Structure 1
Amino acid sequence: MSSIIQLLPDHVANQIAAGEVVQRPASVVKELLENAVDAKATDIKLIIKDAGKSLVQVIDNGLGMSVTDARLCFERHATSKIRQAEDLFSLHTKGFRGEALASIAAIAHVEMKTKQDQEELGHNIVIEGSKFVSQELAVLPKGTSFAIKNLFFNIPARRNFLKSDIVEHRHIVDEFQRVALAHPNIYFTFYHNGSELFNLPPSNSRQRIVNIFSGKTNEKLVPVQEITEIVSIQGFVSKPEFAKKSRGEQFFFVNNRYIKSGYLHHAIMAAYEGLLKDGCQPSYFLYLDVPPHTIDINIHPTKTEIKFDDEHALYAILRSSIKHSLGQFNVAPVLDFDRDANLDTPYEYKNKDASFPTIQVDGNYNPFSDEKPSKPSYSSSDNFRTKRSETASWESLYVGLKNDTETLVENTEIHFESEEVTASLFDDSDIEKVVNKTYQIHKKYIVNPIKSGMVIVDQQRAHQRVLYEQFLANMTIQQAASQQLLFPLNLFFSKNELELISELKIALANTGFVFEAEAEDHIVISGIPVNVTESEVSLVLEQLLSDLQEGIPENSFSQNDSIAKSMAKSLAVKTGTYLTEKEQENLVNGLFACKDPNVSPFQKPTFITMRVEDLDKKFSI
């Protein structure tokens, strides 16, 4: 009987491994950049075309490889990073499994050029689908160049699962930023389709952050520094007033390796407790240095998750160090016992005596006396002297008033306003108004009586539906009303965010936004939609970028739909907002005037109906 279990061929095993290592072009960028860093390169260039689908090329000036290493690096589990199992607990490099290049070579066309400093000639190796096509000597500069072409050429099903170029490009930018932030001493340049996106010369950590995210990033940063036996923390956090809706600018680096940690993120949010608005996220760039033997980084294929030995102590240290920094730089509210100079006595009044008012009282005045003095017996000071006009007794004011009034009435027709007194408390029209009146419950729901019972409307979802259909109609007919601003708004964004906004510019213009200019690090807006206030513009755009962080839809309808949903979510009246009776009625009427009033743009019910029979059943128990 033949055996059932067989060894897989190398090219099949490499394709299976590629499923873990290479998920998208950004995975290739990550592996090649980290290899260049491990090769002690001081200048690294990243070149991509068509969001990495056609070409991903990384050029470095590192150590280079010999002819033997150049062939061996494409074998499975071939690595220069570790020698024995104990090395896994004292890692100082990026990759260590030795599967990256073998997996990439199995699903793409690879051309590698490498040369060591002491060699006269370098080596040019071409591999297609794990097969060596050619190997020859070449005149090359010091370092290594990897060109990965036609990714997933032999796995068309996997290639079809790739997202749009915008989405894939954004993932590549994310991976590039993570490596560049971890190594500010290396010169990085990034080119996409022939245009330069990033040019990052060697600098310190703060300058590298500013060069990547541009805008007013330098004003937002608060330095954090804490050195203990367990961990050494350095980096920056943002001021609370610059918090955003999205979680884009949040970076943890452990031993110069980017990681994701919900536990450490919670520690930072705890440090900001009471300083952030609801739903806002702070930016942070934190570099943690811990002993290598106290962490395990081999728990995830992408090595972005780490297991710490003493997480509780690390949590407490991180939270307290950030709290200390926020208080030290007067970001968090503190008790200040210093004397306020504004409360001091002004200089010109400091040596003057206070002037007291003088009061003179008439001791002979008797309020019960019938005799009224013609003149007051007391006198005021010269500064406060007043004259009182002598008038006759008050009865003389009404002498002859009756006769004059009768004469006036005879000669002139006078109409007097008076309140109309009705026999009942409500007339018929008032009763109708009371029946149709709306009520707000807990600043969340609107109750409206109807003939069969009552309708209970969720005010936030209802307003989302109304705004959604308004924005969608405006973008469809391209006739949105816009209100011009007296002073244009300058809004600062990162390069990645500005690129997304430029892609959405036409759709946003159809909602009422007017873009006056676009610079390297900011945009100028001179007009906004009529139902958007000036203070809400930045919040609306931040929410829109956050909602579209996975990419902009390709066709225009899906793009308009996504923008309308995001803007409706940002501008809709929130739960806990008091609405006047008129606002309640307008919202209810606007909801039932919609094409689909039953659900919100996010497919959640906007209202429920309770019949009188349902209420009767409640009371029949």
Structure 2
Amino acid sequence: MARIHLLDERTANQIAAGEVVERPASVVKELVENALDAGARRIVVEVSGGGRDLVRVTDDGIGMVPEDARLALQRHATSKIRSAEDLNTITTLGFRGEALPSIAAVSHLELITRPHDQLAGYRIVVEGGQIVAEGEHGCPPGTRVTVRNLFYNVPARLKYLKTSATEMAQIGDVLTRLALANPEVAFRFHSGHAQVFATPGSGDLMAAVTALLGREIAKELIPVDYRSDAAWIHGFVGRPAIARAGRSHQYFFVNRRAVRTIAARYALEEAYAHLLPGGRYPVCILFIEVEPREVDVNVHPTKAEVRFQREREVRAAVYQAARQALGAALLIPGTSISPGGEVRVPDREEEKAALRRGWVPPGAGRPGEGGGRAAPPPWQGSAGGAGAQTAAREPVRTYLPPGGLQAALAEKASKEVAAAGAPALDLAGASFVPRPQDPAELIRSLRPLGQVHRSYIACDGPEGLYLIDQHAAHERIFFERLYAAAEEQAAAVQRLLFPLTLDLTPAQMAIWRENAALFAESGFEAEPFGGNTLLIHGVPAGLGTDHVARLVCDFLDRLQEEQVPPGTPVTERRRRVLAAMAACKAAIKARETLQPEDIAALLQDLAACASPETCPHGRPTIICVSVSELEKRFKR
């Protein structure tokens, strides 16, 4: 008797559901992605009991005829691809045809759908993968999928679920990413009878960011727009002031698909390497547009990860994009300067008004396509003949036009809101985040007044009282000198009269041998002295000998714990880390008395630095207490 046999379809669907439907957030993700692929412009998500009791997704997409609705509940039935070759140019979020049957296999599911050119809709009810009822049904155009009693027939998976609050947090994160990726779509998210969030769907990425992440984050974002041969990077990065203790506020989108990408994350954090202290992570909303043939979206069961064909070039593009944006923004806290052209954040009343005017319930009519949308990348071709699905996947571009962002945003918002049949918002007179002056010019204009607590240098400046952290400032100066010399392999070496001996562990000695050239170009002259002992003959000029042993051991320990993506160039990063650690040891310390000539020299050297606003570890070197703040404190 044969021992191997084919599984029946119901069992196969339950097994497939284990990969596709991990938790309620997976259900929400799959259903909303289907709605987006169907060209929906308005999506309502309702959840109850953390998604276990109810998940309902309603959209105004193209809908389905009865035959397609039945096929959609069968595995590997899809309208997105016809052959394996289509995977090379896939632009839709879904394509496997597994989501709906997998969800239906582990829940009670109701599907109601109606194409826009049909008078009646169609309803199908599925329980545990079996159709139990179907027939014509009155409904507005679009599709509504209701999922109840998730995992009712898989007790082990049901037991695995976390608390309702935890599952709700996961659902909220999934929807936030989908809404950020599609600012031209109006999202509404309800938990029970309460509205969690709503986005206007105007196509303005900043409006979506404000609605989803809040004004405090939105007003601290810096626009990004960078192109290379491999990728186009656009969106926003956050100022160091809003850095987080984790990576939960890092949003990456590859061809409008929310993904986890270690390569892009690593490149972003490298760009902030000396702007943030340890344990703090930058905020970003970054769109990475690459040719579909050069990215594999089929490497993960839930399509949460992608692989780039030109990973090194994409990583470099993300790094350069972030560095370019950060370089254009001054990072001295507290200064007050003349208005310039940065991103405008709508106030709360404008958000509410836009939502009231721009929202039309699903099925009550579809707006025309907005005239303010940019053309897609060259590889996407024309939307003609591709229908609503292709149009819905066009990238949202963030331009920085020569005429100023303020006027462009006002014009763009007016066009898009008008296209939606709503009155335009008057953005022309709105206030923008100020653009600061050149930091070097500012530092040169300061007049030193003396030391505060032998730790901070007080200066009179154009906007009020400036305080400079003498340790952080000297640290920045020493770091840039040491790093530049190491890059040019011209570091000045201070020869030691009596060599230092340093006992290392076997692991540390192995790491030192691997990085001996890095130490040498940074100004360290050392050689093995038998076993695991290191003999140090010279150190970088200005470093001194008091902290050499601690510095070398700390750096080797850091390299031992270092984790980087395979194939990532590490020499430059390690050179920066070593220079930063050496600068911290060599710099003037707090509670050290400085003479007037020392202070003048320190300010002169700081003004000559490439990034004088922060120390190499990301702490600010200078802050300003404005005249208005002083007057307020003195009640004038």
TM range (shorter): 0.5 to 0.7
Task: Kindly indicate whether the alpha-carbon contact (under 8 Å) linking 1:223 and 1:236 is maintained by their aligned counterparts in 2.
Answer: yes
1:222 equivalent in alignment to 2:326: no
Distance 1:110 1:192 in 2: 19
Distance 2:282 2:183 in 1: 22
Distance 1:153 1:337 in 2: 67
Deviations 1:224-279 (A, max 9, x none): 11022211110111111221212211110000001111221111111111110111
Aligned to 2:456: none
**How far is 1:83 from its partner?**
0.4
User: Which range moved further: 10-19 or 209-218?
Assistant: 209-218
Aligned to 1:12: 11
Distance 1:223 1:328 in 2: 10
Amino acid at match of 2:152: F
For 1:11-410, list aligned pairs within 5 A. 11-203=10-202, 204-331=204-331, 336=440
Counterpart secondary structure, 1:336: helix
Task: Kindly indicate whether the alpha-carbon contact (under 8 Å) linking 2:233 and 2:289 is maintained by their aligned counterparts in 1.
Answer: yes
Aligned to 1:510: none
Distance 1:330 1:318 in 2: 20
Counterpart secondary structure, 1:178: helix
Distance 2:259 2:41 in 1: 23
- Computed over aligned residues only, the root mean square deviation of the Cα atoms, in angstroms, reads 1.9
Task: Kindly indicate whether the alpha-carbon contact (under 8 Å) linking 1:79 and 1:97 is maintained by their aligned counterparts in 2.
Answer: yes
Alignment CA distance shift 1:334-1:341 (3 Å)? closer
Deviations 1:486-528 (A, max 9, x none): xxxxxxxxxxxxxxxxxxxxxxxxxxxxxxxxxxxxxxxxxxx
Distance 1:131 1:206 in 2: 44
Amino acid at match of 2:113: T
Distance 2:213 2:446 in 1: 40
Distance 1:218 1:158 in 2: 38
Distance 2:318 2:19 in 1: 32
Task: Kindly indicate whether the alpha-carbon contact (under 8 Å) linking 1:224 and 1:236 is maintained by their aligned counterparts in 2.
Answer: yes
Counterpart secondary structure, 1:229: coil
Deviations 1:2-39 (A, max 9, x none): 21110000000000000000010000000000000000
Amino acid at match of 2:147: I
Distance 2:279 2:26 in 1: 31
For 1:466-505, list aligned pairs within 5 A. none
Distance 1:339 1:173 in 2: 45
Counterpart secondary structure, 2:150: coil
Distance 1:343 1:215 in 2: 36
How many residue pairs are counted as aligned between the two chains?
344
Distance 1:28 1:313 in 2: 34
Distance 2:215 2:209 in 1: 11
**How far is 1:219 from its partner?**
2.1
Distance 1:343 1:280 in 2: 33
Deviations 1:360-416 (A, max 9, x none): xxxxxxxxxxxxxxxxxxxxxxxxxxxxxxxxxxxxxxxxxxxxxxxxxxxxxxxxx
Task: Kindly indicate whether the alpha-carbon contact (under 8 Å) linking 1:255 and 1:287 is maintained by their aligned counterparts in 2.
Answer: yes
**How far is 1:337 from its partner?**
5.2
Distance 2:233 2:17 in 1: 35
Aligned to 1:418: none
**How far is 1:215 from its partner?**
3.9
Distance 2:140 2:221 in 1: 40
Distance 1:309 1:341 in 2: 49
**How far is 1:336 from its partner?**
2.8
**How far is 1:341 from its partner?**
5.7
Deviations 1:116-150 (A, max 9, x none): 11111110110101111111111110000000000
Counterpart secondary structure, 2:440: coil
How does the TM-score come out when normalised to structure 1?
Answer: 0.54
Distance 1:94 1:233 in 2: 20
**How far is 1:315 from its partner?**
1.3
Alignment CA distance shift 1:53-1:334 (3 Å)? same
**How far is 1:56 from its partner?**
0.3
Task: Kindly indicate whether the alpha-carbon contact (under 8 Å) linking 1:58 and 1:147 is maintained by their aligned counterparts in 2.
Answer: yes
Task: Kindly indicate whether the alpha-carbon contact (under 8 Å) linking 1:63 and 1:116 is maintained by their aligned counterparts in 2.
Answer: yes
Counterpart secondary structure, 2:123: strand
Distance 1:58 1:338 in 2: 54
Distance 1:215 1:336 in 2: 30
**How far is 1:310 from its partner?**
1.1
For 1:516-527, list aligned pairs within 5 A. none
Counterpart secondary structure, 2:270: helix
Amino acid at match of 2:279: G
**How far is 1:338 from its partner?**
7.9
Deviations 1:181-221 (A, max 9, x none): 10000010001011111111113111211110114122210
**How far is 1:153 from its partner?**
0.9
**How far is 1:48 from its partner?**
0.6
Distance 2:187 2:285 in 1: 18
Task: Kindly indicate whether the alpha-carbon contact (under 8 Å) linking 1:327 and 1:334 is maintained by their aligned counterparts in 2.
Answer: no
How does the TM-score come out when normalised to structure 2?
Answer: 0.53
Alignment CA distance shift 1:164-1:343 (3 Å)? closer
- Structure with the greater relative contact order (CA < 8 A, sep ≥ 6): 1 or 2? 2
Task: Kindly indicate whether the alpha-carbon contact (under 8 Å) linking 2:189 and 2:195 is maintained by their aligned counterparts in 1.
Answer: yes
Amino acid at match of 2:250: Q
Task: Kindly indicate whether the alpha-carbon contact (under 8 Å) linking 2:57 and 2:146 is maintained by their aligned counterparts in 1.
Answer: yes
Q: Which runs of 4+ in 1 moved over 3 A?
A: 331-335, 337-344
Distance 1:338 1:238 in 2: 23
Aligned to 2:595: none
Distance 2:124 2:200 in 1: 30
Distance 1:25 1:245 in 2: 26
Deviations 1:308-345 (A, max 9, x none): 0111111112111211111112238976358956679x
Which has the greater radius of gyration?
A: 1
**Structure 1: stretches of 5+ with no match in the other structure:** 345-577, 579-621
Task: Kindly indicate whether the alpha-carbon contact (under 8 Å) linking 1:107 and 1:129 is maintained by their aligned counterparts in 2.
Answer: yes
Alignment CA distance shift 1:337-1:216 (3 Å)? closer
